[in-house]
Structure 1
Amino acid sequence: MTDNPTALGYLRRDISGPQQTWDETQIRSLAKRLGYDLTKTIIFDADTEYRLEQLETAVQLNQAEAVITPTLEHLEGTADPLVKACDIITVRPENTYARWAFPKAQADG
């Protein structure tokens, strides 16, 4: 175990198609380059129900700091609402959608 933050890979088989192996390699490579411990890559397809809900559960169970995906298309075209739970990192184009820090409401007194 290292002190590196944990990440999950994520892709949709129906979107990656024949380049799925390449997408998985790119996810692993980017995770390593950015200093993440890639716990696993979760692979769903178009028939998987509640994909994003299942992915968010996996993020929580693995205490992942980030999800790395080939493109936003694999996440229904947007980093929302998953970005509330962790950073979203895309391989193409390489981009990070960071979690926003929301200030806690302070009680009067």
Structure 2
Amino acid sequence: MRPQPAAIGFLRHDVSGAQQQWDEAQIQHLARRLGYDLCKTLVFGPETDRPIMRVRTLLSRLEADAVIIPSLAHFGGRIPDDLVQVADIITVSPENTYARWGIPPVE
């Protein structure tokens, strides 16, 4: 068992543009502030085949609990449903957490 929860970073270089290093630093800072061990940051572009599947594969391999992204723009403006089922998604700006565990409906 890990001493702290694990996370991976994710960004698209075409979305970050000239701010890519800044976005990577912000991911690292937020992970540290929230108590995550940032294991790896994936940097993809529009040419990357099946990026969400690749993120899910890395989450599984590293047994990570969260994906930290600079903003929703890096996921095309929305949180991928199949990704939030297996990990929390945390955005740097605005800072928000999309939790994987939903509250079950009251019956």
Query: TM-score with structure 1 length normalisation?
Result: 0.89
In angstroms, what is the RMSD of aligned CA positions? 1.5
Determine the C-alpha separation between the residues in 2 that align with 1:58 and 1:2: 17
| Aligned counterparts, 1:13-52, within 5 A | 13-52=13-52
For each residue in 1:56-101, what CA deviation from the matched residue of structure 2 results, as whole angstroms up to 9, or x when unmatched?
1111111110000000111122222210010000000000000125
Q: For structure 2, list consecutive stretches of 5 or more residues without a partner in the other structure.
A: none
Structure 1 runs of 4+ aligned residues shifted over 3 Å read none
Work out the percentage of aligned pairs sharing the same amino acid.
51
| Aligned counterparts, 1:4-83, within 5 A | 4-81=4-81, 82-83=83-84
Are positions 1:92 and 2:76 aligned together? Answer: no
Determine the C-alpha separation between the residues in 1 that align with 2:2 and 2:55: 23
Q: For structure 1, list consecutive stretches of 5 or more residues without a partner in the other structure.
A: 104-109
Determine the C-alpha separation between the residues in 1 that align with 2:90 and 2:99: 8
Bigger Rg, structure 1 or 2: 1
Question: Aligned AA for 2:19?
Answer: Q
For each residue in 1:13-41, what CA deviation from the matched residue of structure 2 results, as whole angstroms up to 9, or x when unmatched?
00000000000000000000000000010
Determine the C-alpha separation between the residues in 1 that align with 2:64 and 2:79: 15
